[in-house]
């Protein structure tokens, strides 16, 4: 931020405040859009919760969650994670995000550091899970592509590969961390 | 065809809920109330991130950094035309879409560069945005290895995307 601001000061200071305001405006618009999206999805998900479907879902996904996130997950967190993962797999990013946020918040123990489980959930979500990139296909069609949907397969492969890669890296770092602690304790 | 899936699922859900005697309207409203909470707590972090990105781009630092990174990216198989996209992808989703659009008009649809751009954008996500809204409302201050790993995954998926476009 400091670097950019100083550069901008030299290059074109009149653009600085305008740029900041434009970006802030963008944040407002984005937040409003998200508010609408989340209202729909959180409403739907509340119904899902009250019909007991999310409980059934988390029972189904328990082994996967244990493997990815470890054993110390509270049942409430488990539910949020299951819905988050399922929504991601079904390509419903708008549903996944609020559930991911709830999951992270329920894992917050007030100690101020991100836990391993939080990081795993974050990396999985931030690695770009989506099944069909509809916006991009639309853009390609508009730009004159003759086969806009043929990016589906490479995108799918890349998404799955990066999710696996992300999981391996996070797990690897966790194991390294535990081994380091053991070395320190053994003296 | 795909359009039918989500509305159909919702309809099934409502039918199931009605069968279980759940008051659909009330429960929907109850859930939707949480939306405002989530968005308001995420907003300041979102604003800060977007402002930083805008300043970064306006000052020309983004273009310069992209030029600097290009050779390294090319080494792992990412065409240098995509370096600004890769640089900005973790910061802004709408900005990335705009960049992909630019690449499409510059290099033409169905070109190798354009396909790579689309797959790269589609297979990665806005790391800093996700980080800010996920951790924004919590007490978490130290993210440890979260962001570096997420960025590593982004680079990995971008390189893989370009390679896949080459062989497919």
- Please determine, for residue B1, whether its predicted confidence score (pLDDT) is greater than 60: no
- Please determine, for residue A151, whether its predicted confidence score (pLDDT) is greater than 80: no
Pairwise CB contact (< 8 Å): B131 & A31: no
Q: How confident is the model at residue A123 (pLDDT cuts 50, 70, 90)?
A: confident
Single pTM value for the model: 0.75
Q: Which of B109, B115, B163 to mutate to test the interface with A (most CBs of A within 10 A)?
A: B109
Which of B60, B108, B168 has the CB atom closest to A11's CB atom?
Answer: B60
- Please determine, for residue A116, whether its predicted confidence score (pLDDT) is greater than 60: yes
The nearest alpha carbon in chain B to A119 belongs to B146
Return phi, psi of residue A60, to 5°.
Answer: -65, -40
Helix (H) or strand (E) holding A120: helix A116-126
Q: How confident is the model at residue A173 (pLDDT cuts 50, 70, 90)?
A: confident
> Greater confidence, A85 or B101?
A85
Q: How far apart are CA B50 and CA B102, in angstroms?
A: 20
| Distance in Å, alpha carbon of A6 to nearest chain B alpha carbon | 8
pLDDT tens-digit readout, A6-34: 666 666 667 778 888 888 888 888 788 77
Q: What was the pLDDT predicted at A7?
A: 63
DSSP single-letter state for residue A110? S
The nearest alpha carbon in chain B to A99 belongs to B134
Q: What was the pLDDT predicted at A6?
A: 66
Pairwise CB contact (< 8 Å): A144 & B109: yes
pLDDT tens-digit readout, B32-66: 888 888 788 778 877 887 787 777 777 777 777 77
Instruction: For chain B, give the mean pLDDT.
Output: 79
- Closest-CA residue to B124 (of A136, A42, A146): A136
Pairwise CB contact (< 8 Å): B124 & A127: yes
Pairwise CB contact (< 8 Å): A114 & B143: yes
Burial class of residue A112 in the structure, from the number of CB atoms within 10 Å of its CB (0-12 exposed, 13-18 middle, 19+ buried): exposed
Pairwise CB contact (< 8 Å): B119 & A154: yes
Angle at B61 between CA B60 and CA B66, to 5 degrees: 100
Pairwise CB contact (< 8 Å): A35 & B35: yes
């Amino acid at each position: 931020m400091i670097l950019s601001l100083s550069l901008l000061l030299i290059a074109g200071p009149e653009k600085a405040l305008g740029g900041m305001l434009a970006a802030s405006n963008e944040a407002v618009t984005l937040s409003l859009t998200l508010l609408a999206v989340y209202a729909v999805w959180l409403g739907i998900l509340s119904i899902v919760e009250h019909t007991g479907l999310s409980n059934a879902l988390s029972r189904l996904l328990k082994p996967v969650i244990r493997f990815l996130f470890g054993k110390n997950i509270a049942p409430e967190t488990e539910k949020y994670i299951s819905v988050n993962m399922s929504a991601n797999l079904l390509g419903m990013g708008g549903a996944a995000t609020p559930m991911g946020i709830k999951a992270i918040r329920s894992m917050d123990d007030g100690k101020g550091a991100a836990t391993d489980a939080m990081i795993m959930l974050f990396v999985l979500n931030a690695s770009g899970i989506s099944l069909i990139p509809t916006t991009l296909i639309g853009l390609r069609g508009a730009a004159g592509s003759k086969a806009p949907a043929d990016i589906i397969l490479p995108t799918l492969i890349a998404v799955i590969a990066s999710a696996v890669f992300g999981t391996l890296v996070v797990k690897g770092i966790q194991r390294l961390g535990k081994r380091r602690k053991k070395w320190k304790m053994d003296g | 065809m795909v359009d039918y899936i989500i509305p159909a699922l919702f309809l099934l859900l409502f039918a199931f809920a009605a069968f279980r005697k759940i008051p659909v309207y009330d429960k929907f409203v109850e859930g939707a109330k949480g939306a405002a909470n989530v968005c308001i707590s995420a907003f300041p972090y979102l604003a800060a991130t977007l402002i930083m990105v805008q300043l970064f781009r306006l000052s020309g630092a983004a273009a310069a950094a992209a030029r600097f990174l290009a050779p390294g990216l090319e080494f792992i198989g990412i065409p240098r035309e995509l370096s600004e996209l890769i640089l900005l992808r973790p910061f802004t989703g709408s900005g990335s879409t705009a960049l992909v659009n630019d690449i499409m008009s510059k290099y033409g649809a169905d070109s190798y560069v354009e396909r790579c751009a689309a797959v790269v954008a589609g297979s990665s996500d806005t790391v800093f945005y996700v980080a800010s809204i996920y951790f924004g409302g919590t007490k978490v201050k130290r993210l440890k290895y979260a962001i570096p790993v997420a960025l590593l995954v982004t680079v990995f998926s971008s390189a893989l995307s370009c390679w896949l476009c080459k062989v497919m």
